[in-house]
Chains A and B, each alone.
Chain A
Amino acid sequence: MHWLYLGVAVVFEIVVAIAAGKAEGFTNRKWTIVTLVSGAFGTYFLSRALLTFDVGVGYAVWTSVSGVGITLLGAWLFGQRLSWRKGLGIAAIIAGVVGLQLSGAA
C-alpha cells in the first residue's frame, strides 16, 4: 500500500512542479491555486507513505521519481531537450530505487 501512496504523491508532485513554474512567484492566481491544492494532496499521500518508508528513503524515491517524470514531461510537452546525459541520470535513479527495494529499505 505504501508504494501506491508514494505513486499517487509522485503524480501530484509533478503537477506541483509544473504549476509552480507557471505561478510566477505566486503572482498568477490560477496556477498558484493549482500548485497549492496539488501540493496539499501530494503532501498528504507522501505522509501516508512515510508511515512505512523511512523519511530519507521515502522522500528520495518520491522526489527522484517525480524528477524523472518532470524531465520526461518537459521534453514531451515543453520541447526541452532529452539527451543521452539525461537518460543516464534517469537510469541511475531507476537503478537506485530498484536497488533500495531489493535491499529491503522500501
Chain B
Amino acid sequence: MSSISPSAARSWLMLLLAGGFEIGYALSVGGSHGFTRLTWSLVAVVFFLLTLWALSAALRTIEVSIGYAVWAGIGAAGAAVLGPVFFDERLTLVQSLWLCLIIAGVIWLKLADRLDSPKTPVEQPQEAESAGV
C-alpha cells in the first residue's frame, strides 16, 4: 500500500498514457478504411508510434503480461465506447454485454497476475534481460 516508489508510479502513469494513445490508434485505424484515407492513416501512424513509445517505456519496470492487459483494457473499452460516437456503428444490448465480458476478461488477466505474483522488489529494471534467456 505504501510501497509504490516514484519510478513505479511513473511507469504506471506512462502505461495509462499508452492506453489513451491506444484508443486514438484503434479509432484512426478503423477510420483509415484499410489505409485508403490519407488523413486518418497519418493520424493512425502517429498514434501507433506514441502508443508503442509509452508502452515500451512502461514495460521497462512493469511485467509484460500485466502492462499489456491494462493497456489493452483501456484501449478496448475506449474504442467500444467511442466507436459509435465517431462512426456509424451500433451495438445491441446483447453484443454490448459480450464486449463487456471480453474487456473484463482482459482486465481480470491483469488482476490474476498481481494475485499470483509474490511480492517483488520494486526496482527491477533488469527483469526483461533475465526473462529473455
Within 8 A of B (CB), among A54-106: 54-61, 63-64, 66-68, 70-71, 74, 78-81, 83, 85-86, 88-93, 95-97, 99-100, 103-105
Shortest beta-carbon distance from A14 to chain B in Å: 10
In the complex, what distance in Å separates the CA atom of A48 from the CA atom of B35? 8
Give chain B's interface secondary structure class.
helix
Interface residues of B (CB under 8 A from A): 25-27, 29-35, 44, 48, 52-53, 55-57, 59-60, 63-65, 67-69, 72, 75-76, 79-84, 86-87, 89, 91-92, 94-95, 97-106, 108-109, 111-113, 115-117, 128, 131-132
A-B contact pairs, 17 of them (CB 8 A): A21-B128, A55-B30, A56-B80, A59-B26, A60-B99, A60-B102, A64-B72, A64-B106, A67-B72, A67-B106, A70-B64, A81-B117, A85-B116, A92-B102, A93-B102, A93-B109, A99-B98
A36 within 8 A of B: yes
Q: Which of A16, A23, A57, A71 has the most CB of B within 10 A?
A: A57
A-B contact count (CB 8 A): 189
Cα distance A27–B75 in the bound complex, in angstroms: 25
Give residues in A with beta carbon < 8 Å to B.
Answer: 16-18, 20-26, 35-36, 39-40, 43-44, 46-48, 50-51, 54-61, 63-64, 66-68, 70-71, 74, 78-81, 83, 85-86, 88-93, 95-97, 99-100, 103-105
